[in-house]
A = this chain, B = another copy of it.
Amino acid sequence: MRDGNFESYLASVGEALEAVLEELLASQPIAGEIARPERLIEAMRYAALGGGKRLRPFLVTQTARVFGADRGNILRAAAAVEFIHCYSLAHDDLPAMDNDDLRRGRPTTHRAYDDATAILVGDALQTLAFDVLADERTDPDTAIRADLVVTLARASGIGGMAGGQMLDLEAEGRFAAGGAPLALTRDEILRLQAMKTGALITASAEMGAIIGRADRQQREALRNYGHLLGQAFQIADDLLDVESDAATLGKATGKDSSMGKATLVGLLGVEAARRRLAGLVAEAEKALARFGGEADVLRQAARFVAERKS
């Protein structure tokens, strides 16, 4: 595939994913459930459907494809990662957290519904993620399913995404006397970002490797690729926040610096951040050295993440 076709391929995987998300968020209860209350399933659909580039699910499917694994049920594992991502957005946007009104160009879940519903939306999307991974339709091998659950859980709980959001609130000075933002060191910023956004991106790559029955070295290489890609993604995100406008991005911009948020762009400056971004993309490609042409899409993904405009 030529680079020019990458975005349309990304979009086509996103469409295939959307159909699976739709099916998993049907209004009818599945075996073992009593009922799906209308208001809650509707709000879950609002929070999870029709939005975003679906980068994390794309990574799950494309790392699995490196090993030739290309079955439809890989999209279920991809959907689980996206549910975790969407749950975190619904909760992070709450007034008690980051207090955002706009997300992907639409009112955030708690603005479209209310705070209580948005809390339950996040809770139930998280539950559904683990339900889907452990279900036999995702993979016939129970050891694979258990591995997927542990990998996603460890990336998204206290030691990963949720812990990262805690560090982020602390960095804003939320719990400090006076409430002034903390001055984070480079290493502290890197750790915060590795937890808040990096861990889930890394897990996405690793989960594809798990489904693909990667050996230990292959799995470690793809974990490493995911880790570098996550760092690149974060710098690109921070650069977009500084340089883009709300209309292009579909959410408030310039918010990070106005809140004194610690980012690498703020610490290093735009030019140095750009150089670091280019370096990370090169490193991510190097992490794929053991793979041949079957990993070209992942190489393109690294470049896309660095160059995206929204």
Contact = CB atoms under 8 A, between A and B. Distances in A.
Interface of A: 29-37, 39-41, 44, 87, 91, 94, 96-97, 114-117, 119-120, 122-124, 126-128, 130-131, 133-136, 141-143, 145-147, 149-151, 153-160, 162-163, 165-167, 169-170, 174-175, 191, 194-195, 199
Contact of A163 (B34, B91, B146): B34
Given A115-B96, A134-B149, A33 B127 contact: no
B123 A96 contact: no
Nearest to A143: B142
Given A96-B115, A130-B130, 20 more contacts: A31-B154, A32-B155, A33-B159, A33-B163, A34-B191, A35-B159, A37-B166, A41-B158, A94-B119, A96-B96, A96-B119, A117-B166, A117-B169, A124-B157, A130-B153, A134-B150, A134-B153, A136-B146, A141-B142, A146-B146
20 contacts: A29-B159, A31-B154, A32-B154, A33-B158, A33-B159, A34-B159, A34-B191, A35-B195, A36-B158, A39-B166, A40-B158, A96-B96, A96-B119, A120-B162, A120-B166, A130-B130, A131-B150, A134-B150, A135-B150, A142-B142
Given A35-B163, A96-B115, A146 B142 contact: yes
A97 B116 contact: yes
A127 B162 contact: yes
A212 to B, nearest CB: 18
Q: Is the interface of A mostly helix, strand, loop or mixed?
A: helix
Contacts of A127: 126, 153, 156-158, 162
Contact of A124 (B32, B34, B158): B158
A167 B116 CA distance: 12
A243 to B, nearest CB: 29
Contact of A44 (B37, B158, B191): B158
A146 B119 contact: no
